[in-house]
Amino acid sequence: MLNFDEERFVRIQTGALAAAEDLDAIVTKCLDGGAENLFFLGAGGVMLLTEPAQRLLQVRSTFPVHYEKGAELVETDSVHLGPTSIVVMPSLSGTTKEAVAALEFAKAKGATVITLTGHADTPIARQADYNVTNFAEDDTSSEMFYLQTLLVALSVMRHRGELDDYEETVAELRLLPQLLVEVKQAFEPRAQALAEKLKDETYHIITGAGSTWPEAYYYGMCILEEMQWIRTRPVHASDFFHGTLELVEPGVSVLVLTGEDQTRPLSQRVEQFAPRFTDKVEVLDTADLSLPGVSASTRALISPVLLATVFERLSAHLEVLRDHPLTTRRYYKQLEY
């Protein structure tokens, strides 16, 4: 596979899932200590990676959960944030200034802060009440944070008696590091062909629903825009027919992300509509990806993980074909703003 270190990837994802016991113990301590709600909190794209876990709790648990952009929370506060709050914050670098400010704000409100980081000796790791560090880099962090925040959500549900198959689900998740490599290998020819199709496109509509929506937003904003300087229009599939459909015409690129949860029909509706008006429709459906030994119920939880892992292959080819390294920036962390 192009520019891919299999051993590094497996090591990082195995490390991410090895945190299951520690995260479960931390969640148990917080709940036993009287926690009354949970906040997923962060800054930028990494915040989007917490949304599937937040949404899972929102629809399947009665435990109150909040999803907040760190910079906005610092400006507005929330009556729900306080000494009985658990705050879960992922940060790859551990240094993002908006995330540091949000952590300090949450701590000042008396919340218990759990951070998930890729580097230990950083402000976000050091200042947390609990920190789980697993070394990762940009091309491996999406899967890691999707999985670790999912583990937090599953642990909450387990301890509230809202999940009967916690052990079985975690056991299946532990199969993923090697299985994801096999997914990448199988997708590699399509990744190359898709990169050839997309390399000269200057604008994409990218859509998804349920747990695939955060990945649509993330890939559009953090990869195509930030790392490739390509304009995108991320739009939730349920909103697609309330405005964005009017932009679909011959020559417009539409990327549809379809997962395996209950929202699948929302993406399929876009799949059926868009090809009527443009010949540039690409559907990435996680149901097409083979995961031996993983049940349908677990697959429904990990659609964004699967999409992140195949998108990494697409990105690897795009940066070569477009002669635009994923590390190139004009403004991000290049100047003060």
Q: How far apart (Å, rounded) are the C-alpha atoms in residues 21 and 296?
A: 24
Residues 161 and 305 in one domain: no
Q: Which domain holds residue 238?
A: 177-321
Name the residue among 255, 305, 245, 317 with its Cα closest to residue 284: 255
> Does the residue 333 lie in any domain?
no
Q: Please tell me the predicted confidence (pLDDT) of residue 60.
A: 97
Name the residue among 124, 148, 162 with its Cα closest to residue 43: 124
Q: Which of 128, 158, 173 is the last residue of a domain?
A: 173
Residues 159 and 211 in one domain: no
Residues 304 and 200 in one domain: yes
> Does the residue 250 lie in any domain?
yes
> Does the residue 332 lie in any domain?
no
Residues 154 and 182 in one domain: no
Residues 157 and 181 in one domain: no
Tokens for 154, please give them.
Answer: 């599953």
> Does the residue 167 lie in any domain?
yes
Summarize the confidence of residues 24-53 as an average pLDDT: 97
Q: Which of 149, 173, 197 is the last residue of a domain?
A: 173
Handedness of CA 104, 52, 7, 199 (dihedral sign): negative
- For residue 282, give the amino acid letter: E
Q: How far apart (Å, rounded) are the C-alpha atoms in residues 259 and 161?
A: 27
Residues 11 and 155 in one domain: yes
Domain count, the chain: 2
Residues 181 and 169 in one domain: no
Summarize the confidence of residues 225-252 as an average pLDDT: 98
Residues 198 and 169 in one domain: no
Q: Is the predicted pLDDT of residue 164 greater than 90, yes or no?
A: yes
Q: How far apart (Å, rounded) are the C-alpha atoms in residues 281 and 54?
A: 30
Banded model confidence at residue 192, pLDDT cuts 50, 70, 90: very high
Phi then psi for residue 256, to 5 deg, are -115, 125
Q: Which of 117, 147, 173 is the last residue of a domain?
A: 173
Mind listing the pLDDT tens digit for each residue in 132-145? 999 999 999 999 99
> Does the residue 168 lie in any domain?
yes
Handedness of CA 257, 258, 262, 265 (dihedral sign): positive
> Does the residue 335 lie in any domain?
no
| Residues above pLDDT 70, as percent of the chain | 100
Mind listing the pLDDT tens digit for each residue in 259-283? 999 999 999 999 999 999 999 999 9
Q: Please tell me the predicted confidence (pLDDT) of residue 337.
A: 86
Residues 21 and 89 in one domain: yes
Q: Going along 8-156, which residue ranges are E strands?
A: 37-42, 65-69, 85-91, 112-117, 130-133
> Does the residue 307 lie in any domain?
yes
Handedness of CA 257, 52, 290, 187 (dihedral sign): positive
Q: Is the predicted pLDDT of residue 89 greater than 90, yes or no?
A: yes
Residues 25 and 165 in one domain: yes
- The CATH number assigned to the domain holding 165 equals 3.40.50.10490
> Does the residue 1 lie in any domain?
no
Residues 187 and 153 in one domain: no
Q: Please tell me the predicted confidence (pLDDT) of residue 333.
A: 82
Q: Is the predicted pLDDT of residue 334 greater than 90, yes or no?
A: no
Residues 162 and 35 in one domain: yes
pTM (2 d.p.): 0.97
Summarize the confidence of residues 316-332 as an average pLDDT: 96
Name the residue among 238, 236, 242 with its Cα closest to residue 205: 236
Banded model confidence at residue 123, pLDDT cuts 50, 70, 90: very high
